Amino acid sequence: MTASTLPVSLQGQTIRWTFQDGPTKGHTFEHTFSEGGALTWRSTGPGSKDHHESASAAVKVSDDVHMVSYLSKESGYTLTVALNLETGIAIGFASNGKDWVQQSGTFEVLGAGR
């Protein structure tokens, strides 16, 4: 599998994660992964809007762990997150040309595109 394609287990799925630390502490985000690598994400807070990214990557590291990464063109941040499907733990790294931050949290798979 190449990094430009999503593992079958993530294609068409919506994943909701909440970081417990870092600059987005307590914020919840939903990410929907489409075939071909497109991604739609949004905050679940009031007044949130959908953000569409034309490219994302996901790699199945093991039966329980997937790595996902994408560049948010609007914010200029790249987010890379390891998702442990067995434990529901997410560990992520967000960076741009000036800042780098590690974040941890939890996630759940909501199912086919929401």
For 87-110, the pLDDT digits (tens) are: 999 999 999 989 999 999 999 988
pLDDT confidence of 13, banded at 50, 70, 90?
Answer: confident
CATH superfamily assigned to domain 13-108: Calycin beta-barrel core domain (2.40.128.20)
pLDDT confidence of 12, banded at 50, 70, 90?
Answer: confident
Q: Domain segments of the chain: what residues?
A: 13-108
Residue 79 tokens, joined: 């987010």
pLDDT confidence of 9, banded at 50, 70, 90?
Answer: low
- CA dist 109 and 83 (Å) reads 10
- CA dist 68 and 47 (Å) reads 26
